[in-house]
Structure 1
Amino acid sequence: MSDTQTITVPHLGTSEVGHRFARPYDASLPTLVLVNSFTTSADLYRPQFADDELAATANLLAIEPYGHGRTRAGYAQFTYWDTAVAGLQVLDALGIGEAFVLGTSQGGWIAARMALLAPRTVRGVVALGTSMDTESPRSRALGCWDGVGFCSPAIDALAEPVGEDWVIPVELVDAVLAEGLGPDVSPDERAFWHARHQEHYTGDAGRERLRLSTVNLRDRDGLHARLGGVHCPVLWLHGTEDTVYSVANAEEEIRLFGSSPHAELRVVDGGRHFLSASHPGAVDAATVEFVRRFA
């Protein structure tokens, strides 16, 4: 993978948005935007960037949401809608007129927001281990996690200013990895994400980015009443071992894409919440098929 770069866009009082191409841009190929999950970065898509068939099918462009990686906002507050707008502005700045968007967990609902905001730009959505609801009683009744219970203690713990020597506690990183990848994260993978998180979330500014990212996860708005505005094809992949959002929830929500010409749910046996990382072979093969079909 190439190093993550930043590009300036006008949103939120001007922003620097972290992004990374797998290979030099090829105008003859469609583009697939990759949006990462909670507290991770473009590095989440290392398996996708290493997949020669996927990289030969589309330009792979990872874009880091507000509060994540190297993305920084000129204004103090941001939401998932802001990341959707900024992602579209990155495409404009790079001269890319159309793209597919793949998102893991929070990246899935950011991808849906991008499709809602710019139906002429987003050619298709690949949603992985996601939800289109709030952190609601409805979703918990369908077997989804208690996102409020997970996020609220961290929000409270991050409420006060800290010194510039502060780094994200490894206990919080391990909690994210447990939800995303399950109990059997390898020592090398755990060490990698400890280092990446402690690179991105340092000092008081890092504390505040982490707190706002957690607030967004807990308090986001739902998309159920808006999903009829998604007019592109949708492929939703969901793992049977996803302990955050359930297959039952995905089965209900895929039916809400009523204006999509093709809305399909595929269940991945053994797949974890960070499905692009736990089962990259299944994700990459399905994505290649999807992009080739609808490009």
Structure 2
Amino acid sequence: MPIERQTVSVPHLGGSTVAYAFARAYDPGKPTLVLVNSFSTSVELYRAQFADDAVNDAANLLAIELYGHGDTRATWRQFTYWDSAVANLQVLDALGIARAFVLGTSQGGWVAARMAMLAPDVVQGILPLGTSMDDESERSRELGCWDGVAFCTPAIDDLAAPVGDDWVVPTEFVDAVLGAGFGADTSDDERAFWHAEHQRNYTGDDGRHRLRTASINLRDRDGLHARLDDVRCPVRWLQGTADQVYSVANAEEEIRLFVNVPEAELQVVEGGQHFLSSTHPKDVNAAAVEFIGRWA
């Protein structure tokens, strides 16, 4: 069954309707773990976490869809990762949640870091998965990370012209994302699921524009290296050895940039792919339970 989304209104970007989902009924007596999705995905990225009793016993799971993703919409048509970080914090405020941990996959990792910088009194700890804190730099490519400029630019160019109401995101685009995220062994069922989810989310000219802006953000984002000393909360970074997008070598360098946190730990997951929460949920879920138990 699809994850049931709700929406909440927040003031950012001229007024926004942000889509979110709780795994179970909210319990104010437990910590909250915000889940931030990767590029072009949705709250459905965290099905394995929503289904796990141990994680749900440890925390309220709250998945929030970023600008340009899922059912989240804004009045203003342009957005960046900073905007998504602000909107996520406004969602927490609107839901009456004073403090939370944040777990983010890929782009969700740097949104988590941005949330921690913007609201150190709110964010109790971050769990970046399969991510980078850099821009799409030559430095990161030399450390074995992908060429995000080469990956994103053709799609940005292809999505430049307005389209009709009958447009849906091409399956070739989705397959490229799935290949980078899940690796070559994506099952037929998983592939079919994400084809349908992408084609539900990205339809018509509004869908084209949101996907293009999300692609521009991925390619042209600002790096965070000089800002990471403003993160004050504990960090547990999980990085897979089979990640085709960001490398363990990059993570080993960048974890050392969190110089003002109580603890910054890198956990390497053998065989882990880029969408680590989906491909290796046992590792991710166990790490989240331990981390929250230690720092809540």
TM range (shorter): over 0.9
Percent identical residues: 69
CA pair 174-276 structure 1, distance change in 2 beyond 3 A: same
Question: d(CA) in 1 for partners of 2:274 and 2:204?
Answer: 29
Question: d(CA) in 2 for partners of 1:199 and 1:242?
Answer: 27
Q: Is the 8 A contact 1:102 1:108 kept in 2?
A: yes
Q: Is the 8 A contact 1:144 1:249 kept in 2?
A: yes
Question: d(CA) in 2 for partners of 1:178 and 1:185?
Answer: 7
Q: Is the 8 A contact 1:21 1:59 kept in 2?
A: yes
SS at match of 1:125: strand
Question: d(CA) in 2 for partners of 1:155 and 1:127?
Answer: 26
Report 1:93-112 matches (<5 A).
93-112=94-113
Question: d(CA) in 2 for partners of 1:132 and 1:277?
Answer: 21
Q: What is aligned with 1:128?
A: 129
- Residues 61-113 of structure 1, C-alpha deviations (whole Å, 9 max, x = no match): 00000000000011010000000000000000000000000000000000000
Matched to 1:6, the amino acid is T
**Superposition deviation, residue 250 in structure 1:** 0.1
Q: What is aligned with 1:275?
A: 276
Q: Is the 8 A contact 1:2 1:23 kept in 2?
A: no
SS at match of 2:7: strand
Question: d(CA) in 2 for partners of 1:23 and 1:2?
Answer: 11
Report 1:142-161 matches (<5 A).
142-161=143-162
Question: d(CA) in 1 for partners of 2:146 and 2:77?
Answer: 29
- Residues 230-254 of structure 1, C-alpha deviations (whole Å, 9 max, x = no match): 0000000000000100000000000
**Superposition deviation, residue 5 in structure 1:** 1.0
Q: Is the 8 A contact 1:237 1:266 kept in 2?
A: yes
**Superposition deviation, residue 2 in structure 1:** 4.6
Question: d(CA) in 2 for partners of 1:273 and 1:3?
Answer: 25
Question: d(CA) in 1 for partners of 2:53 and 2:27?
Answer: 14
- Residues 168-219 of structure 1, C-alpha deviations (whole Å, 9 max, x = no match): 0000000000000001111110000000000000000000000000000000
Q: What is aligned with 1:70?
A: 71
Q: What is aligned with 1:257?
A: 258
Question: d(CA) in 2 for partners of 1:32 and 1:147?
Answer: 29
Q: Is the 8 A contact 2:105 2:131 kept in 1?
A: yes
Report 1:175-214 matches (<5 A).
175-214=176-215
Q: What is aligned with 1:236?
A: 237
Q: Mind listing any 5+ residue stretches in structure 1 that lack a counterpart?
A: none
Question: d(CA) in 1 for partners of 2:49 and 2:69?
Answer: 19
SS at match of 2:251: helix
Q: RMSD over aligned Cα, in angstroms?
A: 0.6
Question: d(CA) in 2 for partners of 1:16 and 1:224?
Answer: 31
Matched to 2:52, the amino acid is D
- Residues 30-53 of structure 1, C-alpha deviations (whole Å, 9 max, x = no match): 000000000000000000000000
Q: Mind listing any 5+ residue stretches in structure 2 that lack a counterpart?
A: none
Q: Is the 8 A contact 1:105 1:274 kept in 2?
A: yes
Question: d(CA) in 1 for partners of 2:195 and 2:5?
Answer: 18
User: Aligned residues, how many?
Assistant: 295
Matched to 2:71, the amino acid is R
Question: d(CA) in 2 for partners of 1:193 and 1:86?
Answer: 25
SS at match of 2:266: strand
Q: Is the 8 A contact 2:3 2:43 kept in 1?
A: no
Q: Is the 8 A contact 2:115 2:123 kept in 1?
A: yes
Q: Is the 8 A contact 1:85 1:114 kept in 2?
A: yes
Q: What is aligned with 2:85?
A: 84
Question: d(CA) in 2 for partners of 1:183 and 1:143?
Answer: 18
- Segments ≥4 residues shifted beyond 4 Å: none
Matched to 1:280, the amino acid is P
Q: What is aligned with 1:220?
A: 221
SS at match of 1:12: helix
Q: Is the 8 A contact 1:135 1:146 kept in 2?
A: yes
Question: d(CA) in 1 for partners of 2:61 and 2:268?
Answer: 24
Question: d(CA) in 2 for partners of 1:222 and 1:24?
Answer: 37
Q: What is aligned with 1:57?
A: 58
SS at match of 2:140: helix
Q: TM-score, normalised by structure 2?
A: 0.99
1:31 aligns with 2:32: yes
CA pair 136-88 structure 1, distance change in 2 beyond 3 A: same
Q: Is the 8 A contact 2:3 2:44 kept in 1?
A: no
